[in-house]
Structure 1
Amino acid sequence: MKITVISGGVGGARFTRGLREHVRRALPGTDVHGADLTAIVNTGDDMWLTSLRIAPDLDSVMYTLAGENDEVRGWGRIGETERVSAELRAYGVGWPWFTLGDLDLGTHITRSHYLRSGLPLSEATRLITARWPLGVELIPATDDEVETHVVTDAGTMHFQEWWTKHRAALTARAFVQKNVDSATPAPGVLDAIASADVVLVAPSNPVVSVGTVLGIPGIREALAATSAPVVGVSPIISGAVVRGMADACLSAIGVETSAFAVAEHYGSRRNGGLLDAWLVNETDAASLPDIEALGIRAAAAPLWMRDADTSAQLAADVLALATAG
């Protein structure tokens, strides 16, 4: 079975880890050390900082699958020190509110070395991820620099400034993915969608993570054309975001923070949208008839990924929904 995941950062990372765990438990014939599991990862959060290329979502997925992610903070490496960031602050270089750990900086230096050597981001990612047996092939959505900026009353700023420095407290008026119209999918992205048996949309931010991936010319069209079912997992439970500040992003585009509203935002694939099916939490089961009325098959199951067992069960439930049609 070839499974392709459209993923953002933390939520997508944990979902993909649960999917890998389910495959290892229930589908022993699938080679999880090959390319049977592929994650197409958002790069809209990426940026240059102190001459280093930072790729937060790619690194969150990689560290989580490698067992190196700091589960308490939700980002960065286990056992981090921050001596280099302290020195940068002392020199007045970079963003003092955007702290990078010393181990994490090793990743960014390596990525920047490859990029400055002329390699594209996808090849740099392949070389970097080869360090660990992740069991999942990670592909950036594009090799082009498509960075998300946020339009606010205080001015337009990089998404990381709005998200990390201001904690989304500045009302977002719009999200702009710079250079997205001229971007192309990274090598392997379109094939991973076309050849998949199942395409899963992780419970990631619908606006700046999944939305950025879908905005790259050719990706939405590939999802429309694939013979695989496209099934999403709601990032909203009981009217609240699972993690982060996706509600502030949804409000900016006029979408209510609810499992139904996000399904409606994505739309039914048979009506020109994204989804064939949508999995919501048990507490949102009352919305199933309304979701079905959109032309999207729907089911309810526990969505909280508390540990390996609950995460693997979520993967099993979403794959069951994918094959039920």
Structure 2
Amino acid sequence: MKGISTIAFSGGVGGAKLALGLARVLPPEELLIVANTADDFDHLGLHICPDLDTITYTLCGRANRSQGWGIEGETWNCLQALSELGGPDWFRLGDRDVATHLYRTQRLREGARLSEVTAEICLALGIGQRLIPVSDDPVRTIVHTAGGDLPFQDYFVRQRCEPRVTGFRFDGADRAAINPELHAALSSPDLSAVIFCPSNPFVSIAPMLAIPGMQEALLAARAPIVAVSPIVGGTAVKGPAAKMMSELGLPITPLAVAKRYSDLATAFIVDVVDGDQVARVRELGLACEAMPTLMNNDDDKLRLASSVIDYCHALSR
């Protein structure tokens, strides 16, 4: 049986959209989706994995399409009752979402690995694709700000990305091990594409690349590594990437993102509105193509996924 042909590294909302497109155009057994876990945190005694959950809900068709995260048709009775008691209600946990966190937390306390629990949840929700955390070991993004260091969810949700960013660190990354399934897939002779989905380069992709041996394993893979720009027309499609770039003194352009990947990636994809960036990206030594990357509906996701796969195959010839 053919093994994994495509590995997709993904953060939350933007990455999940392309992951869904890839899930629709590739046989389930050929796709491995790798989720960032550096956003994970413990809240109200529950172990919460925002990126894993966003991808999970997207793949099973339950994601809230308007906001990109959470579950469509969610109710908030538990959160409302918690607020009435004076409890912390800054992180919005819906009633059905809580069930996911309760199940995960209990299984982890029983000694299961995060990979095992993720597989169980996917099976229960009818997801045929393999979705894994990048590591079973904890890695946590800490955002350096002008006012001090903040755990990622405090920065992102509690303070609504308002503090000025000065840098990042990834606690635990130096002690984390690459998910064995990912390591095996990267060395597989069947591998034909490694894709960095359009996710935040600083807090979604970078924590995964910080795990010891990850970059070496990627460089040794027998497949092109293609990154899709999360910056389109001078702004981030979703999330705080553009704000972070500005505060770090970087131009808000696909080129600036491509420079972060230039020692690792084979190629970079920009949106058609940024076609003027193609030649400059190629000057970095990367192959580069412009194509429509905005994913406003399922047809867009399928089109982009098919185009990215075709491009990867063309690079392999």
Counterpart among 86, 89, 104 of residue 83 in structure 2: 89
1:45-80: CA deviation from partner (whole Å, max 9, x where unpaired): 000001100000000000000000011121101111
Map 1:166-315 → 2, pairs under 5 A: 166-195=159-188, 196-267=191-262, 273-315=263-305
Counterpart among 2, 6, 19 of residue 22 in structure 2: 19
- Give me the TM-score of the superposition, normalised by structure 2: 0.94
Give yes or no for the alignment of 1:8 onto 2:11.
yes
Give yes or no for the alignment of 1:62 onto 2:65.
no
Alignment partners' CA distance in 2, 1:148 and 1:15: 23
Alignment partners' CA distance in 2, 1:246 and 1:315: 22
Deviation of 1:252 (Å): 4.8
1:183-213: CA deviation from partner (whole Å, max 9, x where unpaired): 1112312112222221111000001000111
Alignment partners' CA distance in 1, 2:231 and 2:253: 6
- Counterpart amino acid of residue 269 in structure 2: L
1:100-143: CA deviation from partner (whole Å, max 9, x where unpaired): 00100000000001100011111111111111232321110111
Give yes or no for the alignment of 1:320 onto 2:272.
no
Alignment partners' CA distance in 2, 1:226 and 1:127: 28
Give yes or no for the alignment of 1:149 onto 2:142.
yes
- What secondary structure, in the 3-state scheme, does the structure 2 residue paired with 1:207 have? helix
Assess if the C-alpha contact under 8 Å between 1:185 and 1:219 holds in 2: yes
The answer for the alignment partner of 1:270 in structure 2 is: none
Assess if the C-alpha contact under 8 Å between 2:233 and 2:273 holds in 1: yes
- Give me the TM-score of the superposition, normalised by structure 1: 0.92
Alignment partners' CA distance in 1, 2:134 and 2:243: 24
- What secondary structure, in the 3-state scheme, does the structure 2 residue paired with 1:135 have? coil
1:19-43: CA deviation from partner (whole Å, max 9, x where unpaired): 12233xxxxxxx32x3x11111000
Deviation of 1:253 (Å): 4.5
- Counterpart amino acid of residue 54 in structure 1: I
- What secondary structure, in the 3-state scheme, does the structure 1 residue paired with 2:32 have? strand
Assess if the C-alpha contact under 8 Å between 2:122 and 2:128 holds in 1: no
Give yes or no for the alignment of 1:112 onto 2:105.
yes
Deviation of 1:320 (Å): 2.0
- What secondary structure, in the 3-state scheme, does the structure 1 residue paired with 2:251 have? coil
Assess if the C-alpha contact under 8 Å between 1:277 and 1:321 holds in 2: no
Q: CA RMSD in A?
A: 1.4
Assess if the C-alpha contact under 8 Å between 1:207 and 1:250 holds in 2: no
* Equivalences, count: 310
Deviation of 1:219 (Å): 1.4
Alignment partners' CA distance in 1, 2:148 and 2:283: 40
Assess if the C-alpha contact under 8 Å between 2:201 and 2:257 holds in 1: yes
Deviation of 1:221 (Å): 1.2
Alignment partners' CA distance in 1, 2:116 and 2:248: 34
The answer for the alignment partner of 1:50 in structure 2 is: 44
Alignment partners' CA distance in 1, 2:269 and 2:181: 27
Assess if the C-alpha contact under 8 Å between 1:180 and 1:216 holds in 2: yes
Structure 1: any 5+ residue segments left out of the alignment? 24-30, 268-272
Map 1:32-47 → 2, pairs under 5 A: 32=28, 34=29, 36-47=30-41
Counterpart among 91, 95, 104 of residue 102 in structure 1: 95
- What secondary structure, in the 3-state scheme, does the structure 1 residue paired with 2:201 have? coil
